[in-house]
Amino acid sequence: MCGIVGYIGQKEKKEIILDALKELEYRGYDSAGIAVISDGKLNHFKAVGKIKNLEEKASGFESKGSGIAIGHTRWATHGKPTELNAHPHLGAFSYVVHNGIIENYQELRKELIDKGIKFVSQTDTESIVHLFEQNLATGVEPFEAFKATINRLEGAYAVLLITQVAPDTIFFAKNGSPMLLARDDNDVYFASSDTAVVGRAKEAYYLEDGEYGFAKTNSVKLYSKDTPKEFVTKPLPEDKTLAQKDGFRFFMEKEIYEQSSVMNDTMLGRVLEDTIEFEELDKSLFDGIRAIKICACGTSYHAGLTGAYLLERMAKIPCQVEIASEFRYKEPLLTPDTLFITISQSGETADTLEALKMAKRAGLKSLTICNVDNSSIVRESDYAILTRAGIEKGVASTKAFATQVMVLWMLTIYLAQKRDTLDKESIDTELNAMRHTPKALIVARLLHERIYRLSKRYLHGHGFFFIGRDIFYPLALEGALKLKEISYLHAEGYPAGEMKHGPIALADAELFTIALMPKNMLYDKIKSNVEELIARDATILAISPDTFGMADDYIKIRHADHPMLEFFEMMLVTQILALEISIRLGNDVDMPRNLAKSVTVE
């Protein structure tokens, strides 16, 4: 997602801003830009694609001596990744960079256009700089004009603004999107994440929502709700890798904890008050479509299986899910009334890409659910819904899976509305549950501690069975995959009702069964299946909102009134369990043996 940086000081500003932007590359972006004021002169450079393109554009430019600079990596939300849409956005004599979404930008834009302002980009951000200059034109001081601007913004933002009217000052505000300010002697830095300033500054203050102010060399004024605020900086880590992990032991752990916030990005502009909207889809995409085929590999395949339950149940459309490597060679029957959906975190998985090409040759319309824009699968597909999970570094996929499932759930409701298969009350229930998902994904400290303590009992045995029913069956498959990937212990996911058709023969005290027992879906059925295993002395770890006294171990999740909320919280539990077991076994969690993040071979 977008990254934001700023600098005030004597050093070469271009170099500092470009270096800082490179440190934020991991967040994902598709264009970048910088703006500098030194010697009272404004300069700016923007480029689509990688930061090296921006470096080339700015290669002849130097900015020594005292001055200010801001920079940005943009991950397109409103408007395509073009130079015009890249930040910084320019007014007549001011620049702004922004991370987040201004929800009332259309209203602001209209108001400004009515006053004769010309917009050059499609972004929500450009309104900020024009609004600032309009406020300034009323004759107030620049900081008052900035404050009045921020007061009009609704939504999430981290904003840095510079203007020729105050060429030694950076104005800043934060609400809902991350930003810190760091200091080193007289120099001041701003950034979305501390990786961008580690090595340059020794301490930082992490801004809180609703805070704003202005900074000059050696002076920072911070306010909250019109009141000046003192702030205390914290020491920054000295090691860059540690900083990228935001203090977590592994990227996978960081990514598990990030799931709550990335889910907001996945839903942004899509889950509206009483409907689901996908700007990226053509209204006629589903015309003539009578069935869906989903094709994917590994974790993405598990997301697809979950989606199929939702699509058939709520959108009443037949939906088949296939493992891409199997699909390619089975001579599948493909009819043009089938929508072909691929799911891929990387967008580069060779089997999925080839399956997509086959479907296209057979004349099928295609849609991909993908995390990487401009990847091969996105480019090959007719339509793409980006999952917006941000770069995933841990080889074992976590947040990519969560966001894939969310997109499939949203797509189900989108389609249910089109096909008129759900009444208004049911749609409202689904949308409400979606809005609660980020909360269900917050990792409670006590939950993590409990899983950590329990994990020591699960380092041996002759195997793990993860069992569940309905959508909790693909979650069981995914839980087992996570565990085997990073612990190298044997684990299988199984439909709970199938255990008695064979695998129950394995049951004894050394067979560990992780039972997914949601209250909102077939609780009594799965309870009976678990009791069958208990009767054969299998060791049971039950995950449920309700205590289950017969289990050997029990992890309590929060009570929720929707199965998807239970799904996401149980997903957290299975991810953390795999993580803690793997750490205890001394494995490399982020780079498990034999695995690659992007599987570009067959």
Residues that bind ligand F6R (CB under 6 A): 297-300, 344-346, 349, 352, 396-397, 481, 485, 599
Q: Is 421 exposed, middle or buried (0-12, 13-18, 19+ CB in 10 A)?
A: middle
Cβ-proximal residues to 588 (8 Å cutoff; 6+ apart), any chain: none
Name the residue among 486, 497, 490 with its Cα closest to residue 461. Answer: 490
By beta carbon distance, the residue nearest ligand F6R is 298
Q: Please, what is the minimum distance in Å from the beta carbon of residue 348 to ligand F6R? A: 7
SS3 string, 524-583, reads: HHHHHHHHHHHCCCCEEEEEECCCCCCCCEEEECCCCCCHHHHHHHHHHHHHHHHHHHHH
For residues 597 and 115, give the distance between their C-alpha atoms in angstroms, rounded to a whole number. Answer: 51
Which CB, 33 or 474, lies closer to ligand F6R?
474
Nearer to ligand F6R, 349 or 403 (CB): 349
Minimum CB separation of residue 402 from ligand F6R in Å reads 12
Task: Name beta bridge partners: 466.
Answer: 493, 514
- Find the shortest distance in angstroms from Cβ 349 to ligand F6R: 3
Q: Give SS3 for 150.
A: helix
User: Is the Cβ of residue 133 or residue 351 nearer to ligand F6R in the bound state?
Assistant: 351
The minimum distance between CB 331 and ligand F6R, in angstroms, equals 23
Bridge partner list, 494: 467
Q: How many whole angstroms separate alpha carbon 478 and alpha carbon 454? A: 20
Looking at the Cβ atoms of 43 and 397, the one nearer to ligand F6R is 397
**Contact 208/232 with Cβ under 8 angstroms?**
no
Contact yes or no for 90/163 (Cβ under 8 A): no
Residue pair 466/492 in contact by the 8 Å Cβ criterion: yes
Tell me how far apart the alpha carbons of residues 38 and 8 are, in angstroms, rounded to a whole number.
10
Q: Residue 437 in contact with residue 568, Cβ under 8 Å?
A: yes
Cβ 45 to ligand F6R, closest distance in Å? Answer: 33
Residue with Cβ nearer ligand F6R (32 or 356) = 356
Task: Tokens 């830009």: give the residue.
Answer: 33
| Least distance in angstroms from the C-beta of 241 to ligand F6R | 22
Nearer to ligand F6R among residue 126 and residue 485 (C-beta)? 485
Helices (H), 225-349: 240-244, 251-267, 298-314, 324-327
Closest distance to ligand F6R from the beta carbon of 69 (Å): 36
Nearer Cβ to ligand F6R (180/355): 355
Q: What is the DSSP string of 11-31?
A: S-HHHHHHHHHHHTGGG--SE
Supply the minimum distance, in Å, between the C-beta of residue 371 and ligand F6R. 8
Q: Pick between residue 397 and residue 403 the one whose CB is nearest to ligand F6R.
A: 397
**What's the helix, strand, coil split of the chain in %, to 5?**
35, 25, 40
DSSP readout, 349-410? Answer: -HHHHHHHHHHHHTT-EEEEEESSTT-HHHHHSSEEEE-------SSS-SHHHHHHHHHHHH
Nearer to ligand F6R, 161 or 483 (CB): 483
CA distance 219 to 217: 6
Closest to 92 measured CA to CA, from 60, 121, 132: 132
Nearest to 340 by CA among 309, 367, 319, 308: 367
Q: Please report how close the Cβ of residue 481 comes to ligand F6R at its closest, in angstroms.
A: 6
Which residue's structure tokens are 């694609």? Answer: 49
Nearer to ligand F6R, 32 or 384 (CB): 384
Measured from the CB atom, the residue of 400 and 526 that comes closer to ligand F6R is 400
Q: What gap in Å lies between CA 428 and CA 264, rounded to an integer? A: 18
Residues marked active site are found at 2, 597
* Whole-angstrom distance, CA of residue 201 vs CA of residue 11: 13
What are the counts of helices (DSSP H) followed by strands (DSSP E) for the chain?
A: 17, 25
